[in-house]
Structure formats: structure tokens, C-alpha cells
Amino acid sequence: MYNKDKTQNINSIGFFDSGVGGLSVLARFRKILPQENIIYFGDTLHLPYGNKTKEELIGYAKNILNFFKEKQVKAVVIACNTSSAQAYDTIKNLYQFPIYPIIQSCANVIANSGVKKVGVFATEATVKSGKYKEELTRNNPLIEVKEMASKNWVGIVEGVGDNIEEARKNIKFEIKEMLSFNPDKIILGCTHYPYLMNEFIKYAPQNLFIDPAEIFVDFIKNDLEKRNLLNNSDGGKEEFYVTSSPEDFVKNAKIFYDLKKLPHLYK
Ligand code: DGL
């Protein structure tokens, strides 16, 4: 079971994602908890997570959590919907620190926000898991959910895959298909998607989209507070690790994070 001692408040919080996506969460986190020490891990070698199997995703998550354990983190934020959908249930009891998965931490607030029909854009692996539908309807059985796997939107953000221009053109048709369901809100169910907001608003109003990051960060803050784990002393240090291409990471991060130096390459 989880044991808290005094030294843990200044220990870092680990954040992870397949790449720069989780920075859309970290950027919001920084606004409300600037004094926390952070270690961010972008698993760029295995990007995109969206086309990986459950077994692969569990393996990646365990490796990253073991790395965070060695770093003696006080908590871990899964700033990745795909990993939350496919790996969280398997790994959640394997570590002594609290682990926060994005989907499960936000579903209650979204499901009870007065929406009746909710669209979800997410990766193939997230949609395959049905996790959004499961979590939203568990919190509100009357809600109707349409989940759509978007085609290589992560590739557009990270500059990977050979059909990037085609994927960009396809956004229009994917949004139109979603709009035909007539949703009250559309959840951006992948932390990379807020990077594409300027594309989305060409086809639908911005207030139709929910970026769960804000709800997620509030949830984490409240839970850390409850556990008496917030860092009230000086802090705000940041360390970044990636598993490949540190230069690309800095370049792709720009919209949400201006990294002053190259991340460490983790091997
Ligand atoms: N940003 C991640 C998510 O929220 C993973 C995207 C990917 O690598 O396919 O699902």
C-alpha cells in the first residue's frame, strides 16, 4: 500500500506520453501547480501508440513506470489516452505511488456536465478499447457516445508516417462525419489533438470541443491535496527524457512548450 513520509512532497511527479501530446496536459498543469518538480517522459521510439497492441502498450507503460520508480517520483500522470485505455487496468496496482489515467480521471465530470450526446475522437487503440464509452456511460447511463478513430492525426503533429498531407485533408471529412451525429460536445480523446485546434475550428466552433486536460489537472490537484502530497516549498524543476530524436521533440513541442534545452535521450 501507499505510504507517505515527509520527504515525498518535494519529490517529482512523472508525466508520460508517446511523444509531445502529454505536453498539452503538462502546460496546463504548470499554470496551476508551478512549484511542482516534474519529470516528463516521451516514448518517441514507439510512436504512435495508437496502432500498438495491448501487450505492447502494457510493456511500454511498465518500463516507463519502472524508470519513474527509480527516480523516486511521488506520483505518475498518464498524459496519454491510449495508455490509460489499454495499460492502466493492468499496471494500476503494481506501484506504491498514485497513478492518474486521463480517461478514468475525467469521465465523471464530463458525463455529468449536462451533455446528452458526446463524440470522441481518439486513436485506433483507444477506440478499440471502448474505454470512453464505458467510463462515460458508467457515470451517466443516459449518455449517447460515438467514438471515432482519427486517421494519423498524431502523425501530423509528430511529423511521422507517409500520408501526412492526406491526413490533414481528411480532417474535414472526419469532423463532418462526427457532426452528422449531432453531438453536444466532442472530446479530444488523444493528448496530441489540441495541437490541431487551428485545423478543427475551420469546420466546427471551438466551444464544441472538450480538451480533457483542464478537468484532468483539477482532478490531480485535488487528489494530491487530499493525500497531503503537494509541494509547498521552492521547486518547479523540469527534466525531459525521450527514447529517440530529441531535436524533433523540441520542434514538435513548440505550440505547448518552449523547451530551452534538448531532452535527455533515454536508452
Ligand atoms: N497522445 C497519446 C494519446 O493520448 C498517444 C497517441 C499516439 O501515440 O498514437 O492517446
Query: Along the 267 residues of the chain, how does pLDDT read in single tens digits?
Result: 455 555 589 999 999 999 999 999 999 999 999 999 999 999 999 999 999 999 999 999 999 999 999 999 999 999 999 999 999 999 999 999 999 999 999 999 999 999 999 999 999 999 999 999 999 999 999 999 999 999 999 999 999 988 899 999 999 999 999 999 999 999 999 999 999 999 999 999 999 999 999 999 999 999 999 999 999 888 799 999 999 999 999 999 999 999 989 999 998
Please give the number of the atom of ligand 1 that sits closest to the Cα of 192. Answer: 1
| C-beta 151 within 6 A of ligand 1 | no
pLDDT of residue 8: 84
Neighbours of 132 (CB within 10 A): 28
Q: What pLDDT sits at residue 1?
A: 45
Compute, in angstroms, the gap from residue 47 CA to the centroid of ligand 1. 8
What DSSP string describes 165-216?
Answer: HHHHHHHHHHHHHHHTT--SEEEE-STTGGGGHHHHTTTS-GGGEE-THHHH
Domains of the chain: 6-101+215-265 (3.40.50.1860), 104-212 (3.40.50.1860)
- What pLDDT was estimated at residue 6? 52
CA distance 79 to 41: 10
Question: Any idea which residues carry the catalytic annotation?
Answer: 80, 190
The rounded distance, in Å, linking the Cα atoms of 216 and 190 is: 13
Kindly give the number of the ligand 1 atom that is closest to the alpha carbon of 18: 8
CA-proximal residue: ligand 1, atom 2 (nearest): 80
C-alpha cell at 192: 496530441
CB neighbours of 112 closer than 8 A, spacing ≥ 6? 139, 140
- Is the Cβ atom of 83 under 6 angstroms away from ligand 1? no
Q: Hey, what amino acid is at 243? A: T
Spacing, Cα 49 to ligand 1 middle (Å):
6
Q: Is 155 in the pocket of ligand 1 (CB under 6 A)?
A: no
104 C-beta closer than 6 A to ligand 1 = no
Q: What is the dihedral of CA 66, 70, 72, 73, to 10 degrees?
A: -40
DSSP string, the chain: -----GGGGGS-EEEEESSSTTHHHHHHHHHH-TTS-EEEEE-GGG--GGGS-HHHHHHHHHHHHHHHHHTT-SEEEE--HHHHHHTHHHHTTSSSS-EEEHHHHHHHHHHTTT-SEEEEEE-HHHHHHTHHHHHHHHH-TT-EEEEEE-SSHHHHHHT-SS-HHHHHHHHHHHHHHHHTT--SEEEE-STTGGGGHHHHTTTS-GGGEE-THHHHHHHHHHHHHHTT----SS---EEEEESS-HHHHHHHHTTT---SSPPEEP-
Looking at ligand 1, which atom is closest to the CA of residue 22? 1
C-alpha cell at 167: 491526413
47 lines ligand 1 (CB under 6 A): yes
